[in-house]
Chain A
C-alpha cells in the first residue's frame, strides 16, 4: 500500500508543478518567449499574498484574489513596455532581459523581506486529509491538483473557444498577417503575459501554503516548470500537466527509495523523456 500512497502523492505534487508551468507554457506557446524570471514572479506573488495577509488580516485565499489583479496588471505592463521590445528574430535579447529581471527581483525581495523563510498561514487546512480507505490524501494537495486541472481546462477553453484565443493562435502563427486582421500583436502578447500572471498568483498561493519560501527559491521553481513544459511538448497545456505529473511522480518515487534522491530523480526523468521523445510527449503539429 505504501506504493499506492507514493504514486498518489507524486501525481498530486505534479499538480503543483503544472501550476508553476502553465503560465510559462501559455507565454511560450504564444510568443516563443521563455521568461527566465517566471519562478521569481511566483515568489514575488507569494510575498504579495503574505503582505496582504499580514496587513489586512485576510485569509490567504482572499489575499490571493486581491493579489491576482495586481499581478495581472504587472504582467501587462511588463510585457507591453519591456518584453515586447525584446521580441524579434533574435532569441537572445528576451533571455538576457528576463535573466536580468530574475536577479533584480530576487534582490528587491531580499531587500524588502529579508532572507528569512516565510510561510502563508493556513490554519486547519494544511493538516486536513481525506481517508480514502487504503490511503490518506491531504486536502491541500488535492486542492492544488484540482486547481491545476481547472486552470488547464480554463486556458484551453480560452484558447480554443474565444475570440481572444483565436487572436492568440493567429498571432502566434503569423503576427504580420494577424495585424492585417486589425490585431495588435503587442497588445495580444501583453494580455497573454497578464493571464499567465493570474496563474502565477494561484501557483504562489499553493506554494506558500505548502512549503516555506524565501527570495532565492525562484530559479528552482523555474527549472521544474521548464522541465514540465519541455516534457509535455512546447505549447501543449495538457502536455504541461502530464509533464508536471511525471516530475512529481519521479520525485516522490525517488524520495521513497532514498530521501536524497528526490530532486535527482526528477531531473533523471526529464532527461529520459528528452532522450526518448526529444520534442516532448505532445508536440504541436504545426511549428
Chain B
C-alpha cells in the first residue's frame, strides 16, 4: 500500500519552475533512492515533501492525508522527518542539544531515543557537549541523521548524506541505514553518487531537469538506462 505519494507535483522559485509534474510513491517499510545530477530537482522534491516549500494540498498524500499545503512544523508530527542537504546543524546548540531538539514538543516514546542514537553513532556520545559545528563533516552528518530520528519518523528523508565526505566516512554513515530500516521507518535517500544509494534501495527514481526520467528496481536497471536518464543523452 502506498504510504507517501506525490501526484503531478510542481514547484516554483519565483518565475523559475523547478519541478514539472513529479509522481513518486513510497510503500510502508520501503526504501527508495532518488538519483540525479546537480540541479535535477531532488532537493526541491525533498523540500516539498517536508513542507519547507508549500504546494496544493492534493499534490502530496501521507497515509491518505493531503499534506501538500501544510507547513513543515505541521508535517513533522505526522511522522515525516528530514535530514536536510548540507546537514544544517544549529551552531548555538551542542551535539546533544541538536539531538534533543529533534524531539521538540513530543513526549511519545518510540524506538529512537538519545541512548539508541549514541549506540548507533558511538562517537557522538564522546562529543555530546561539543558545539555541533565543531565536529568533522562525517560526525556532523551523524548528528543530522540522529536529530531527524529523534522524532521517531515513519518516513525519513535523507538529502545527500554523502555530500563532501570521504569514501570511508560514507561507508560508516551508510552502515547505519540497515539499522534505521529495521526500526520500521521508510526511507527516501537522495544521492548524486549512485553506488551507495543503489545498495540500500528497494526501488530507484532517476530525475533530470525537474522530471522523473526513469524508475525501477536496482537489479532491473542497466547502467546504460541510468546513464541516459541521468544525463539525458542517448547512451
Query: Interface of A with B (CB < 8 Å)?
Result: 163, 166-167, 169-170, 172-174, 176-184, 286
Contacts and interface: CB of A to CB of B under 8 A. Distances in A.
A184 B104 CA distance: 11
A170 B76 CA distance: 16
Contacts of A182: 72-73, 76-77, 104-106, 151
Contact of B100 (A166, A177, A179, A286): A166
A286 B133 CA distance: 10
B92 A177 contact: no
B52 A181 contact: no
Interface stretch (B15-23, B36-44, B81-89, B164-172): B81-89
14 contacts: A166-B93, A166-B100, A169-B92, A169-B93, A170-B93, A173-B93, A177-B90, A178-B90, A179-B51, A180-B52, A180-B76, A181-B101, A181-B147, A181-B151
B8 interface: no
Contacts of A178: 90, 101
Contacts, number: 67
Given A166-B97, A173-B93, A179-B71, 8 more contacts: A163-B104, A170-B90, A170-B101, A172-B92, A174-B88, A177-B84, A182-B105, A182-B106
Contacts of A176: 52, 72
Contacts of B72: 176, 179-180, 182
A61 B151 CA distance: 43
A166 B99 CA distance: 11
B50 interface: yes
Nearest to A183: B104
B73 A179 contact: yes
B11 to A, nearest CB: 16
B48 to A, nearest CB: 13
Contacts of B84: 177, 180
B110 interface: no
A216 B184 CA distance: 63
B90 A169 contact: yes
B232 interface: no
Contacts of A172: 92
Interface in B123-161: 133, 147, 151
B52 A179 contact: yes
Contacts of A163: 100, 104-105
Nearest to B51: A179
B57 interface: no
Nearest to B81: A180
Contacts of A183: 73, 101, 104-105
A173 B147 contact: no
B68 interface: no
A133 B147 CA distance: 57
A184 B91 contact: no
A167 B104 contact: yes
A169 B100 CA distance: 13
Nearest to A169: B92
B102 interface: yes
Nearest to A284: B92
